[in-house]
A and B are shown apart, each in its own frame.
Chain A
């Protein structure tokens, strides 16, 4: 093979490698719980994350007219207020149920772009006195 082809190929391969590895790093979306967020709040500012937890009882506020949805995601220990606008909550969405929201933190409010309620058919609500670990397990299983 002629040297100029080798160089061209190496350039293409290099560009691809850069694209792929760079892309993998940038597009990692971390899945965290409210407690994990407060451990390293700076790290998760202004990047895409998935926040998982339960919708706190009594925190849900939705207006069908303005389509503005506010609620608090909790893992039993820490709580994060979530704001979502312009979309309707999915049908399985409700208080004391598992939810995963994808979006970004703006200050300590989480602005959701996407509500994921991929639910298992056999859902059980968490009981009082559960540890965050148990809650986390529940959330993961519900997804």
Chain B
């Protein structure tokens, strides 16, 4: 059997299993018979296996260069190195949707394992049914609209090759996977929310899905981060975020999911904000579909756009169904889930709601900015785009408000404020003032100074919360402070993890302010042997050569860099700037050389070279402060998320522990 045939059969099998699963689980719901639930569980395993076989066949076809399979002929090549072949399944449209569907079957299967445990048999049919329905959509899309296993009657000797942007950096191998794990992961809390609304049990789902939501959020964060990193190290423009529609598409669900993570805690604690939670999770999941619609439909021009095709229209239909279903259910049950008590703004609940509203607002602004060109075009016919200045202009005040709330929120106690809180907030505000002043003394811009102040303010908040908790515990139990810290950190994983994540966010904000404000770009053409003094560096062009490589052709221009003043510290070394020429692309791809240092980050790009005699080369240098720390902040956020999720944390009951400050 050929891989193409096996993959195609497995694909159809996965679709059939998904449809059967959906039918069976609907029977379970309407006939109230739990035997159907058990069958659906088994069917979800079969669907997962079929998905795995299908995905495996695609990988197999790519590995053995079977160009009779349409996807392989279009997106792979004999010359590709092994790692590129292994990531080729998600290098183009059809394969990436197959990976998406496979991940969906895995999530459905994982949820089916929870049936009878945390997911009771009354809610299981709706939760599983929602997931099966999503799965049916994806597999139907692959089978009928975007099938990777199309048969090529006369297989070409070699394929058209993989998108060179993907081959140019290993980060691209992980970025899409993280993205999909995050996007698809949000379907689980959405499914639980639907089940909660149908069964009218509005409270339990929030506990059961907090793990799922955080996992999805963590993957989404990692996906956005690897995307930024890739963009920085590959695209050669020295930035990591351009407010491109596709970047926005990943940010919107992240913002809604973040809002949900915050309001969800309030519902866990005292049952408030039920409708906010249903709303936010519906929007978060819908936003993942919206993002896919933007990327795959070609309605909005973007650097990431996949070839436009009929897929886009189906995603639009899917998006509208998700929104109609989620928000429709919400309006049906809204009278039953009105909040019983009132929320004081000056309390933890108030701050969490305020924060969530900011995230929600931010998300709506990003949606608006992303689709505004379509609106203008529809009404006036003029073709327009929305520049990055719009998003920067709006995100700066929103970001400042978020950083302010991020410090205050965790320090406020539930329900009301107290005397110690006022003292703490005074200390934090003093830190804010000192940080800002310090920035001004250093001669930084007002925006960057304010960010420094906010960083100090958040640091002070975390320090106050941790130190007061430790002091209380060590004095009441008579143990040393180190032991008290250790015990607190291991028993209150969620709280300490959130401190770590918040610290990472504050650090990221600081690095974004610095790097966006103080980036310097320069270009110059150098002859071989010529030196160029700029930005505290002395740059010398050593040679210009060409080299043939397996899957590409490269032009190399090694340079020697020596730092001559403080600005150039850390830039010393010999660097191979290069342009890669791929046969499937007319244009060469520059591979920037990035030299990180503790303060400035040096970025060297070969722009042009003397193609006739190899006498000169045009170089671009970009010097950006603190980019290294942006990536460090990413690792801190990931660490904080893993810290909360690490198994064992859930087993410690909250009630057995002594209360700590603000907890």
- Residues in A lying within 8 Å of B, measured CB to CB: 1, 5, 15-16, 19-20, 23-24, 26-32, 48, 50, 64-65, 67, 86-88, 90-92, 117-119, 121, 123, 143
Which stretch (B57-65, B445-453, B585-593) binds chain A?
Answer: B585-593
Q: Is the interface of B mostly helix, strand, loop or mixed?
A: mixed
A24 to B387, CA, bound (A): 9
Chain B positions within 8 Å of A19 at CB level: 393-394, 397
Does A67 contact B524, Cβ atoms closer than 8 Å? yes
Within the complex, which residue of A1, A23, A92 is in contact with B393, where a contact is CB–CB below 8 Å? Answer: A23
Does B368 contact A29, Cβ atoms closer than 8 Å? no
A64/B390 contact (C-beta < 8 A), A30-B384, A86-B523, A92-B587 known: no
Does B618 contact A20, Cβ atoms closer than 8 Å? no
Does A91 contact B587, Cβ atoms closer than 8 Å? yes
Q: Does B382 contact A (CB under 8 A)?
A: yes
A17 to B383, CA, bound (A): 24
Does B384 contact A31, Cβ atoms closer than 8 Å? yes
Chain A positions within 8 Å of B587 at CB level: 90-92, 117, 119
Q: List 9 A-B pairs, minimum CB-CB distance, nearest first.
A: A27-B390, A88-B607, A31-B383, A91-B587, A92-B587, A23-B390, A64-B525, A28-B384, A88-B608
Q: Does B545 contact A (CB under 8 A)?
A: no
A sample of 20 inter-chain contacts (CB < 8 A) reads A20-B365, A23-B389, A23-B393, A24-B369, A27-B389, A28-B372, A28-B386, A31-B384, A50-B385, A64-B618, A65-B525, A67-B525, A86-B523, A87-B523, A87-B620, A88-B523, A88-B618, A88-B620, A92-B586, A117-B587
Chain A positions within 8 Å of B394 at CB level: 16, 19-20, 23
Q: Does B376 contact A (CB under 8 A)?
A: yes
Rounded to whole Å, the gap between the CB of B550 and the closest CB of chain A is 21
A29/B523 contact (C-beta < 8 A), A19-B397, A91-B588, A143-B301 known: no
Other than the given A20-B365, A24-B386, A31-B382, 19 more pairs (CB < 8 A) read: A1-B342, A16-B394, A19-B394, A24-B390, A26-B390, A27-B393, A29-B385, A29-B387, A30-B382, A31-B384, A48-B387, A64-B616, A67-B524, A67-B525, A87-B607, A88-B620, A90-B587, A91-B587, A121-B585
B516-539: contact bitstring with A at CB < 8 Å (1 yes, 0 no)? Answer: 000000011100000000000000
Closest to A87 in B: B523
Does A119 contact B365, Cβ atoms closer than 8 Å? no
- Residues in B lying within 8 Å of A, measured CB to CB: 301, 303, 342, 345, 361, 365, 368-369, 372, 376, 382-387, 389-390, 393-394, 397-398, 523-525, 579, 584-588, 607-608, 610, 616, 618, 620
Does A24 contact B384, Cβ atoms closer than 8 Å? no
Chain B positions within 8 Å of A67 at CB level: 523-525, 618
A89 to B301, CA, bound (A): 22
Q: Is the interface of A mostly helix, strand, loop or mixed?
A: loop
Within the complex, which residue of A24, A32, A119 is in contact with B372, where a contact is CB–CB below 8 Å? Answer: A24
Chain A positions within 8 Å of B361 at CB level: 16
A19 to B396, CA, bound (A): 11
Does A24 contact B368, Cβ atoms closer than 8 Å? yes
Chain B positions within 8 Å of A92 at CB level: 586-587
A26 to B398, CA, bound (A): 19
Rounded to whole Å, the gap between the CB of A61 and the closest CB of chain B is 15
A121 to B92, CA, bound (A): 15
Q: For A1, A27, A30, A117, which residue has the most chain B Cβ atoms within 10 angstroms?
A: A27
A64 to B372, CA, bound (A): 39
A123 to B523, CA, bound (A): 29
A31 to B584, CA, bound (A): 29
A19 to B393, CA, bound (A): 8
Chain A positions within 8 Å of B386 at CB level: 24, 27-29
Does B616 contact A30, Cβ atoms closer than 8 Å? no
Rounded to whole Å, the gap between the CB of A16 and the closest CB of chain B is 7
Rounded to whole Å, the gap between the CB of A17 and the closest CB of chain B is 10
A143 to B390, CA, bound (A): 22
